Amino acid sequence: MSFIGNIALGQTFSTKFCTVQTTGAPFTLAGSPVISAYPANSTTQLTAGITLTVDFDSVTGLANVTVVATTGNGYLTATDYQLVITTGTVNSVSVVGYVIGEFSIENRPANVTFWNGTAVATPDTAGYPKVTIKDGTGTGEIDTIAGAVAHVVLTDTTTTVTNATTVANSGWKVP
């Protein structure tokens, strides 16, 4: 049994498992097999939106499970799920109860202590990330020179100017 991952609500994913007989050799899952998703410690069994393919790619014993984890199929955020064989046999022996995988939906906070593999800088003010702006004159860039911002263009209408020493190309007339 493995942890498949923490997915977003509405996501579709697939996982695989193998069924074996007592000798250890792979054997086809049979007996009208059913995979159910159990939310956390609830006894609710979700089956809608699950596709079980036995002998996937005609490989004996290999099973593929595809889950469409939407609200329409009964899935919720902030929840862990276990995929369990709730009906099925292998070489006429029941395998009900085997957990074949586990996943969660939006229930694992992202690790924000690293950004792109680098430790995040300590903020100057708690709650405000410390960032370095991409410097330049291209689209989406800000031209900074020694800590100042160059080429600032004011586009809003200015109604009052106080303590201005030079106003050029504005078309204003000072009374």
Partner 1 sequence: MTPKKKDEEVYVVTLASTAEGQTLEMHVRAADPKEAKAKVLAAQGKDADILSVAVWTPPVDEEDAP
Question: Residue 21 or 144: which CB sits closer to partner 1?
Answer: 21
**Shortest Å distance, C-beta 22 to partner 1:** 18
Q: Are 105 and 78 within 8 A, CB to CB?
A: yes
Contact footprint for partner 1 (CB under 8 A): 28, 30-36, 47-59, 73, 86-87
> CA dist 130 to 115, 120, 137, 145, 164, Å?
12, 8, 22, 19, 33
**Shortest Å distance, C-beta 9 to partner 1:** 17
**Shortest Å distance, C-beta 57 to partner 1:** 6
Question: Residue 76 or 144: which CB sits closer to partner 1?
Answer: 76
Buried residues in 112-122 as b, exposed as e (16+ CB within 10 A): eeeeeeeeeee
Picking from 20, 130, 37, the residue whose alpha carbon sits closest to that of residue 83 is: 37
**Shortest Å distance, C-beta 28 to partner 1:** 5
**Shortest Å distance, C-beta 64 to partner 1:** 9
The token pair that represents 167 in the structure block:
């106003």
Question: Residue 55 or 143: which CB sits closer to partner 1?
Answer: 55
Rounded distance, CA 91 to CA 27, Å?
Answer: 7
Q: Quick one: residue 154, left, alpha or beta (phi over 0 = left, psi -120 to 50 = alpha)?
A: beta
Question: Residue 99 or 120: which CB sits closer to partner 1?
Answer: 99
Question: Residue 21 or 87: which CB sits closer to partner 1?
Answer: 87
